[in-house]
Structures are given as C-alpha cells and as structure tokens.
Amino acid sequence: MEEMLQFLNLLHPMSAELQITLMQVFQREVHRPNKNILSEGEVCDWVAFVEKGLLKAYIELDDGTERVIWYRKAGEVISSVGSFHHRSPTQFAIRTIEETHLRKISRSVLENLYDRFPGLNVHARLLLQGCCSESEQRTIDGCFSLKERYRKLHEQESWLLFDPRIRDYMLAAYLNVDKATFSRFKGKKY
C-alpha cells in the first residue's frame, strides 16, 4: 500500500486525510499465475495498482495467436480505460503472468472519492494523459518496420528487454510478429 501512496504522491501531493481514506477503500487481491482478472467482453468497473507481479493485456485472434497490448509490473496502474469510461464490454483480456498482488478500487467508490476529494481528479487526469500518450505512441510505432519498433522498444520500454520474466515469444506478441519472424530478426543481430 505504501508504494501506491508514494506513486500517487509523486503524481500530485495528497492530503493526509485522502491517504488514510485510500488505505481504507483500496482492496487487496492476490491472484495466481495465468489467471484472467478481466476477460474479453466484460465491463471493467475497477482500477488497480500492481504491488507485485506481472500482467499482460492481450487479444486472442481467431487462429489462437495472442497479440499483447501491454505488460505491467509492480508500481504501475492497470484497467481497461475504454471499458471503464464508457461502461462497455472490453475488447481485450488482462491476465497474470506470475503471482500478482493488486490494490483495487471500484468505479463507484472512486467516483465518490472524486466528489469528496477534488484534488484526486488531478491524479485521474495525469494517469489518463499518460495512458492516452502511451496508446498514441504504440499506434504510431506500429506503422514502422520490426527493426524500428524494436529500436523504439529499447528506447521507451527497455525493461521489457532485460526482465528475465519476459521471454522472446512474449516480445514477439508485443511487437505484433510471429515467434519465427522474431527469432530470425534477433538472429541477424539487428
């Protein structure tokens, strides 16, 4: 919980009263590896902070191939922003890769907190701006060659390349190529 409060305070300072309230309303959840915590077609009515673990958001194609939208590790926030905002079914799933500990808050509780603590809206705005910026950059990056996407990955999310939990097949799914293509690419010493 302390990590989450530090994370939020770095975004924008919080009052002691807000911090105490957040400690009371964020629910702790522990999930086993390889468990969907959000399935495609469900409405995402929560936001969570990752205390420990690793997760992915992904789409499974008709042929069974996975395309990864994002990976999140400890110290990051997860949700389906579109589903949360529009109260509509999500178009992707979120799955744990390893045992994962979350601090989760429901939409209804969060909206009540926005009314009680207007400063919390600043946190929401900053988080949403970060999500939009990341999404925009991923869309732009998808227009480039694999070599260029890999270079940008190295610049923008290098942790994915050096984290031992992230295997080559996982990077291939994130870079939107099949495993064989990615293996050949890496074999050329890019």
Tens digits of residue pLDDT in 152-164: 999 999 999 999 9
Instruction: For the domain covering 2-118, report its CATH number.
Output: 2.60.120.10
The model's pTM is 0.92
Q: Where are the domains of the chain?
A: 2-118
Tens digits of residue pLDDT in 67-111: 999 999 999 999 999 999 999 999 999 999 999 999 999 999 999
Please choose, from the candidates 3, 95, 103, 101, the residue with its C-alpha nearest in 3D space to the C-alpha of residue 52: 101
